[in-house]
A and B are shown apart, each in its own frame.
Chain A
Amino acid sequence: MNVLTPLHVGNGNELTPVDFYPRENEILVLDVERLVDDLQKLGADIEEILGMIRNPAEDLYVWKKFLTEYKINPEQYAKYKLKVRGKIGKMSSRIREFIKESGKPYIPGSSIKGAIRTAVMYEILKECGDTVTVVEALKEGTRIAGKDPIAIQGLIRSIEHPANHDILDYYIHYINMEIKRALQRRKKVNLKTVDDLLEAIVFGFDIGRGGIRHEPKRDPTRALIVRDSSKIPLNNLAVYEVRVIGADVNIPVWVEALEPNTRFNVEIIFDKELAERNSDYFNGLLWHCKGKELEEFIWKAVEDFYRELAKIDGIRGSNLLRIGWGKGWISNTIGLLLKRKGQKWEQVRRKLGLGRKPGGKGISSMFPKTRRIANGMPMGWVEI
């Protein structure tokens, strides 16, 4: 894969001013442990060091005093250097760290696979999302799961409702019901689980007392093995200033990101035998509709979905994919399809609070209104 625009996959950590030493246009990421050790050996007061670490001084150069006093060259304690793309702003800035293994960045297979699965969900809903096909898939899936069809008859009836043209009409209605139910319990809808039922219907499911839920073992994308990428040399990382465009309040964040033109290897395997062996076990809309041509369909879905998205971002190229953090709602979701539902979706979107203005109560009338820009570029585009 070749990186086209800055790509960030976080590991959940942030580098704080204690972890680095800024210089002109670059940042040294320090081996703090070793530095503290050596400072102590040179006679520095540990209490003073700890005090400084706990309450970093007002400026970025937290280590400056010690380094000057003991005539230490920070270069000697640099684990690696990061070029700065954009402005390193406030003195208290934190940098979101890139995921690494044994100190080297890599792209997790799960990030790539997640991006592929989003495209697959989009494409299958586009091609096979009509209520007739979905209901067929649910009935067939229930038979495969060896369960009593009564358990999902309610769901099937709701989907078959004449007001629904396709599964997304039903799903918007379903989200509405969930919001109502949550309100009755004086709770909020959990935004992390809104897609759960849809994921089960599309990718494969089992049936329990609570209805149907996604079952990874019944999910045919299990046959798609995406390896973690090769390790990527540290000098491909830079600090990018990421701004939110279109927001009223604008607080930039800083991330370690791979620079454009970084290349790395990824191995993707479609395990035909696994797919074949489980062919009487997989269920869901994807398997029902495209089981026999699953592998070709996956790549067609990626091509179609990311071509649509690339148009929006003005990215050119073929075999495109978008991965990592900062992609925005449209790339992370089946938003392209939801937006076609017009007012119906718009109402649900407002109730879910998507597009809420930071700080205030209001919800933008345009969504998505904001997008993230890393030193002028959209994030996460790669070429396969």
Chain B
Amino acid sequence: MNREFYGKVIIEGEIEALTGLHIGAQRDTSEIGGIDNPVIKDPHTGLPYIPGSSLKGRLRSLFEIYVNSKLDELKDQYKGLKNYMKGSCREIGKENCGRFFNRELHNVWIHVCNTYEEARNCPVCRLFGASGKESNFPSRVIVRDAFLTEEWKEKWRKGEEITEAKMEVGIDRITSQANPRTTERVVAGAKFNFEIIYTVEDLNEVEDDLRHLLMSMLLLEDSYLGGSGSRGYGKVKFHIKRIAFKPREFYETGDEGKIKSTKQYKSVQELLNNINDVVSLIKPQGG
């Protein structure tokens, strides 16, 4: 095991709910009467937020699916993938059956490499971490909890509703009887500040990792975040505000002059198209 530290890449911006967003709270923490399905809220402010773990989990899951669908091509490039066949261990019912989705977590099959060495050579686990059965590989990506932007907090102070109770009606397909229930969701348009931090541990893998991270963000924009996504909820968009590299020297001296940023790229797609600008902050020689 060899870990090094070259610095951190920080991606900051806003994540906007383009359609209503429902990230559910635990049942027992809900105290709201009348609503069957409340959203998760910050206990200090009572305002909804996006837990970093939800966001990261979704990015990981979408990237896992991508890797699984290109597994045969990617095997040459990533040694860690050699051990896997496409698909899920679900139908075999046993973990680590040799398929890519090899671990059961709350009735969902996910991908996790089992050893440090394997994870280090797997595009998914290298980026998002692996809590293996034998040894752990710490995640290179940290996703902070995303709280409402100042603009939206201000709207809330002025009495604007940030969440709405949405009624949905199930209809019996024999009797036509309506079966209404309400779900709380964050209103479309709401914006949250997000921060994603990538730790540079290997200069040769920076470009690759960042590409994968941004790709996952793009995949999320065409998928959904939170619950009831297939029924319209949770379409999101990232608005990038800043992408900066804080090199090791910054942490040694605290000198902000050492921090480097690219010019502004607003969307994930734009940033991905210009990934070399980011990489050259980290590897100035371009080598």
Contacts and interface: CB of A to CB of B under 8 A. Distances in A.
A132 to B, nearest CB: 23
B231 A113 contact: yes
A102 B164 CA distance: 9
Give chain B's interface residue range (CB within 8 Å of chain A): 35 or more
Interface stretch (B120-128, B167-175, B247-255, B262-270): B167-175
Interface stretch (B135-143, B197-205, B221-229): B221-229
B188 A225 contact: no
Contacts of A192: 170, 172, 175, 177-179
B37 interface: no
B45 interface: no
Contacts of B20: 101, 228
B41 interface: no
Given A276-B69, A280-B87, A225 B174 contact: no
Contacts of A114: 170-171
A281 B88 contact: yes
Contacts of A10: 167, 169
B4 to A, nearest CB: 35
A334 interface: yes
B232 interface: yes
B188 A195 contact: no
Interface string B194-238: 000000000000000000000000000011100011111101000
A155 to B, nearest CB: 17
Nearest to A272: B69
Contacts of B175: 191-192, 194-195, 333, 352, 354
Nearest to B89: A280
B233 A199 contact: no
B172 A191 contact: yes
B191 to A, nearest CB: 13
Given A10-B167, A332-B173, A271 B233 contact: no
B19 interface: yes
A228 B87 contact: no
Given A10-B167, A228-B19, A146 B93 contact: yes
Nearest to B99: A280
B104 to A, nearest CB: 12
A198 interface: yes
Contacts of B235: 227-228, 267
Nearest to B229: A225
Interface in A89-120: 99, 101-102, 106, 108-110, 112-114, 118
Interface in A322-342: 328-329, 332-335, 338
Nearest to A196: B172
Contacts of A72: none
Interface stretch (A79-87, A216-224, A234-242): A216-224
Contact of A109 (B19, B66, B167, B173): B19
A106 B87 CA distance: 38
B174 A175 contact: yes
A231 interface: yes
Given A109-B231, A226-B231, A121 B173 contact: yes
A101 B164 contact: yes
B184 to A, nearest CB: 13
Contacts of A271: 223
A332 B176 contact: yes
Contact of B187 (A101, A276, A335): A101
A226 B69 CA distance: 23
B261 to A, nearest CB: 33
Contacts of A276: 69
A273 interface: yes
B65 A195 contact: no
A333 B207 CA distance: 53
A198 B88 contact: no
Contacts of A121: 173
A108 to B, nearest CB: 6
A383 to B, nearest CB: 20
A144 interface: yes
Contact of B173 (A110, A217, A224, A333): A333
Contacts of B160: 102
Nearest to A106: B188
Contacts of A277: 65, 68, 88, 101
Contacts of A269: 222
28 contacts: A108-B166, A108-B231, A109-B230, A109-B232, A110-B168, A110-B232, A113-B230, A114-B170, A114-B171, A146-B93, A191-B175, A191-B177, A192-B170, A193-B172, A194-B175, A195-B172, A195-B173, A195-B174, A223-B230, A228-B20, A228-B232, A332-B171, A332-B176, A333-B172, A333-B173, A338-B174, A352-B175, A354-B176
The list of the 10 closest CB pairs from A to B, nearest first, reads A109-B232, A228-B232, A110-B231, A280-B91, A191-B177, A228-B19, A332-B176, A12-B167, A191-B175, A192-B179
Given A193-B172, A281-B90, 15 more contacts: A108-B231, A112-B232, A121-B173, A144-B91, A192-B175, A199-B173, A217-B107, A222-B230, A225-B229, A228-B235, A231-B188, A269-B222, A277-B68, A280-B87, A280-B88
